[in-house]
Structures are given as C-alpha cells and as structure tokens.
C-alpha cells in the first residue's frame, strides 16, 4: 500500500510551503507521529509530524517550494511497495530497515550521532552545510532527528555551546578567507520576506512622519519597575511602554488600527500589535524578519505586556511559535531601536494589511529648549508610516500627537 503525504495547510492564508529540511532519509522506516520534515511558510518554520507509518520516499527535495495539498513524499507499507515507487533510489538510499524501531527506542532521549557501517555520521544536507560554514566537527554534535540524525536545530544548539572546532588536521575555510563571492539561495524565507516587502510598497500608498520624543519621564517610570525587578520577576523593557503607548494612541484614533479587506475598511476594536523582530539567520550573511503578534494590548498593563512580549520573542528565536501567534496583527511596532546609530531616521515598510507602523530609533541625550532654557534631555527619533488609502493626514497627525503624549507623559496612559 502506498500513501501520499501532502504539503499541509498550516494557516488559512497559506498557499504554498517550502520543504526546508527532511528529518528522515530516503528509505527510512518512519513511525506514525514522528517528526518528518521542517516546512517553512510566511516567515515561520514548523516541524511536521507524519500521520502515517511506513518506508519514506521523498518526492520534493529540500529547498523546493510547492502549493499546499501537493504530494511531497510517499509512504510504503512494506519493502516491495517502497521499491515499486523508489526505483533506482531504493538501491542507493539507505536500504529499508528490516526491524521497525520499538516504542522504547522511539521515546529514548536524543543520543550522540551514530555512524553508519561506512563510518559516515548521519546528518541532513542542511546540517552538513551549516556545520561546514561554521568549521564545526559533526562528531561533536548530538543529533535529535530520527535515529540520532543531526538536523538544523542541533547545529544551532551546538553553536551556542561553543562547538566550533573542526577535527584535528582538517582544513577549514572560514568566512572571509576566500575572494570568491558568497552565494545565498534566494528562496524560502528570504524570498518570502522580499515578496512581502515589494507587495507592500506596490499595493499601498505609504507616507512617513518624523519627529523626536522626550523619554525622560518614561525612563524615570521604568526605573521604578527596575528597582523592583526581583519582586516583579522581569526587567521591564522600554518596548513594553512603547507598545502600551501604541495601544493608547490607537484607542484614541481607531482608524490607525484599521485595514483594507476586499472593498471594505475594517476598523478593529482589539489592538493587536505585531512586533517586527530581526533574528539571526543560518549564516552570518542572512537574517530573518518575524512579526509575532501580541493581542488585546488595550486591555493589558505594562508588566503583562513585557512578560508576554518576551515570551513571544524567545519562542520566536527557538522557532516554536504557532501560526495563530504570527497572524492577526492590526498595527505594527518596529524593534530596531538601539541597533542604529543615534539620530537615525528610517521609513519602515508597512506590514500589510496593517495601516500603521511605529518605528522608534536609538535615543540620545542632547540639548533642547524647555521654558526658555537650554537643558539636556533624552530624545528619541520616532517615525509613523501609514497607508494613505486608509488614513488621511489629519487622523495620522492626531495619532502621532496621541502617541507623543503617551510616551512623554506615560503616567497618563497608565491611569
């Protein structure tokens, strides 16, 4: 018996997915419910479990993108059925194992990587490439894939633990030692990000406003939280206050919390803040932009916002967010403040279908005039990018004013 394994539809808006990595090899016997592949869609990667048991025949190779509900693999119930679909691959792939793994073996803790009879360490192609790029010795990496196979997450975990030394006597070409250009595949998540950026600019009328906002009262209020950090259980970040300020301003100017759906402008009552976050990519040349969503912020306090935001971002770094946590934003905050040189102004691209994006930049102390006197204040450049199809200049100005007041006088939004 042969069963097709289809590209799963992981979210309502998902139309296609990329097979980022196979977690089992051609010809392996895979138990029902075992992780079988890493599928990437709309900036999120998911570990996919198989609802079938059988011998694996890979139809779609790693790195390929296909529509949802298209077969990406097949499962054969026995060796004869596997040979009938795999053809020549059956003789070159690891031959189907005669003994099916027992449940105790399946549930065992991850083991150190085991070598095949020829001494070859079991690792996915992506994991091998990542290890080579990092000068990493595969023999020092513990595999968590099926049968102890080393997969992408194992390389990233080993890198955090400092496993970056190649085997003795093995030459390693570190980045920058060659004059050959570095070629990065323009597909998968990188291509998805690019497509969405171009789509945003081509389909909306984007305009940005810029000004500076004084942070001294906000920083003084934050210090009260920091003084009680141990008791509160968290070191409250400035972004938590900014998210609260965005919710306050969006509540006062609801059109900033709207979006176009078909032939309607939908004004949302719930303020769901998309937190645009840059994460490191697989190599030093790449990065990943994700937008986890903090929902119903208008009903949350700063401390609750801070804890929920940090949980989202931490799980985003571990690639553990579900589709519902990456969708449903109504307004966006860019979190690049602190990464740019002081005084930087930017025009962040809208996160469609959101109408509004708030882009803070790096604060700096500078002289300003207050009540006729020159004093030193902590000033932060701030931008608001909005979709002029939805929001005209007058409500955009009111939103900016409400945001300005909430940030400069944070006690008011906490009342």
Catalytic residues: 388, 392
206-214/373-387 β-pairing? antiparallel
Residues in Cβ contact with 385 at an 8 Å cutoff, skipping those fewer than 6 apart: 206, 207, 208, 347, 348, 349, 350, 356, 357, 359
Inter-CA distances, 77 with 50, 106, 107, 164, Å: 14, 19, 22, 41
Start-to-end Cα distance in the chain: 66
DSSP 79: H
Centre a 10 Å sphere on the Cβ of residue 357 and count the other Cβ atoms it contains.
26
Rg (CA), the chain: 25
- Omega cis (within 30) before 353: yes
What are the tokens at 241?
A: 């206050």
The gap from C-alpha 382 to its chain's centroid, in whole angstroms, comes to: 24
Please tell me what DSSP assigns to residue 355.
Answer: S
Three-class secondary structure of residue 103 per DSSP: helix
Q: What is the rounded distance in angstroms from the CA atom of residue 277 to the CA atom of residue 185?
A: 22
């Amino acid at each position: 018996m042969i069963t097709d394994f289809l590209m799963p539809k992981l979210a309502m808006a998902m139309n296609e997915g990329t097979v980022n990595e196979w977690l089992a090899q051609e010809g392996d016997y895979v138990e029902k419910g075992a992780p079988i592949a890493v599928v990437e869609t709309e900036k999120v990667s998911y570990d996919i479990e198989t609802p079938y048991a059988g011998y694996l025949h890979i139809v779609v190779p790693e790195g390929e993108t296909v529509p949802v509900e298209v077969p990406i693999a097949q499962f054969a119930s026995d060796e004869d059925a596997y040979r009938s679909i795999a053809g020549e691959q059956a003789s070159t792939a690891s031959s189907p194992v005669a003994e099916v793994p027992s449940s105790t073996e399946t549930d065992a803790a991850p083991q150190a990587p085991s070598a095949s009879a020829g001494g070859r360490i079991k690792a996915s192609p992506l994991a091998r490439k990542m290890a080579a790029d990092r000068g990493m010795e595969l023999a020092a990496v513990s595999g968590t894939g099926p049968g102890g196979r080393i997969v992408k997450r194992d390389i990233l975990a080993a890198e955090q633990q400092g496993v970056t030394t190649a085997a003795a006597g093995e030459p390693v070409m570190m980045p920058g030692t060659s004059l050959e250009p570095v070629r990065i595949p323009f597909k998968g998540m990188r291509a998805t990000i690019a497509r969405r950026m171009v789509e945003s600019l081509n389909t909306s009328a984007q305009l940005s406003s810029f000004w500076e906002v004084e942070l001294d009262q906000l920083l003084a209020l934050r210090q009260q939280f920091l003084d009680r950090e141990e008791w509160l259980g968290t070191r409250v970040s400035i972004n938590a206050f900014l998210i609260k300020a965005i919710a306050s301003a969006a509540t006062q100017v609801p059109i900033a919390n709207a979006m176009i759906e078909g032939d309607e402008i939908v004004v949302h009552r719930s303020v769901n803040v998309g937190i645009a976050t840059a994460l490191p990519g697989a190599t030093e040349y790449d990065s990943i932009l994700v937008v986890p969503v903090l929902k119903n912020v208008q009903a949350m306090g700063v401390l609750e916002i801070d804890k929920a935001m940090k949980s989202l971002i931490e799980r985003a770094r571990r690639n553990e967010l579900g589709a519902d946590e990456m969708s449903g934003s109504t307004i966006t905050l860019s979190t690049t403040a602190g990464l740019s040189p002081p005084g930087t102004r930017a025009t962040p691209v809208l996160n469609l279908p959101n109408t509004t994006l708030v882009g803070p930049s790096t604060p700096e102390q500078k002289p300003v005039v207050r009540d006729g006197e020159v004093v030193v204040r902590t000033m932060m450049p701030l931008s608001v990018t909005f979709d002029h199809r939805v929001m005209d200049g007058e409500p955009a100005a009111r939103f900016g004013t409400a945001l300005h007041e909430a940030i400069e006088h944070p006690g008011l939004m906490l009342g």
